[in-house]
């Protein structure tokens, strides 16, 4: 999955025009939001809070189980009445800057959680105003999202397998520590910490 492909899929899910203006705007918004790539909101580049089980906001940014689920959740969020300005801009394939402004001024947009004041969105503007940046980011492959277990409730695999590996390392270390305390403690820390790090790197791509 790339930001450009996510944008196209989202537009298709919403039955909106799949145009260069719309793709550019949605690619830039993904760059501004940083979901999936820069946090643990798997399959959620726009950091939506919609809980697919209830169809309502979960009050926190969600992680999803697949790209299909993430696209549907994002489309459902955009379909809410308070997001009409965003959908209207996309429906007429407005300029990317106009769509960014509609997004930034919506409840989904960027604002200071403490003061409620709106924040600038220079990262998104920089992308839409630079063909080079737009092409580069739009074609960037998102890191692997296959590190999810369906039964973990949205927690990434490293959190579970890493914890098990760390526990195993601690057990080995504790047994060895009976005869060699220093060596056993060091080995337990090395095995546990090393396993957590290695599994996390592999699973997250």
Express each pLDDT in 25-64 by its tens digit.
999 999 988 889 888 889 999 999 988 888 888 888 899 9
pLDDT of residue 24: 96
Q: Three-state SS string across the chain, please?
A: CCHHHHHHHHHHHCCCCCCHHHHHHHHHHHHHHCCCCCCCCCCCCCCCCEECCCCEECCCCCCCCCHHHHHHHHHHHHCCHHHHHHHHHHHCCCCHHHHHHHHHCCCCCCECCCCCCECCCHHHHHHHCCHHHHHHHHCCCCCCCCCECHHHCCCEHHHHHHHHHHHHHHHHHHHHHCCCHHHHHHHHHHHHHHHHHHHHHHHHC
Residue 93 in tokens: 């394939």
pLDDT of residue 186: 73
- Predicted structure pTM score: 0.69
Tell me which of 49-53, 81-85, 177-181 is least confident: 177-181
User: Average pLDDT of 66-76?
Assistant: 94
More confident residue, 202 or 182: 182
Residue 46 in tokens: 């726009």
Where does the pLDDT of residue 144 fall: very low under 50, low under 70, confident under 90, or very high at 90 and above?
confident
Answer whether 28's CB lies under 8 Å from 20's CB.
no
The C-alpha atoms of residue 33 and residue 123 are separated, in whole angstroms, by 9
Greatest pairwise CA separation for the chain in angstroms: 74
Residue 104 has pLDDT above 80, yes or no: yes
Residue 149 has pLDDT above 80, yes or no: no
């Amino acid at each position: 999955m790339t930001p450009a492909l996510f944008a196209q899929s989202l537009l298709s899910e919403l039955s909106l025009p799949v145009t260069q203006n719309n793709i550019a705007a949605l690619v830039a918004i993904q760059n501004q939001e940083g979901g999936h790539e820069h946090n643990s909101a798997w399959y959620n580049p726009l950091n939506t809070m919609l809980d697919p089980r209830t169809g309502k906001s979960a009050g926190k940014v969600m992680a999803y189980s697949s790209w299909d689920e993430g696209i549907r959740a994002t489309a459902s969020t955009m379909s809410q009445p308070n997001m009409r300005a965003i959908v209207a801009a996309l429906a007429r394939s407005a300029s990317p800057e106009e769509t960014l402004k509609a997004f930034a001024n919506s409840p989904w947009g960027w604002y200071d959680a403490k003061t409620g004041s709106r924040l600038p969105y220079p990262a998104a503007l920089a992308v839409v105003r630079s063909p080079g940046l737009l092409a580069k980011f739009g074609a960037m492959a998102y890191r692997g999202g296959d590190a999810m277990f369906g039964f973990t409730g949205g927690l990434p695999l490293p959190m579970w397998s890493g914890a098990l590996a760390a526990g195993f390392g601690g057990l080995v270390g504790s047994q060895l520590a009976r005869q060699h305390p220093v060596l056993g403690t060091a080995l337990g820390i090395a095995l546990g910490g090393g396993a957590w790090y290695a599994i996390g790197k592999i699973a997250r791509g």
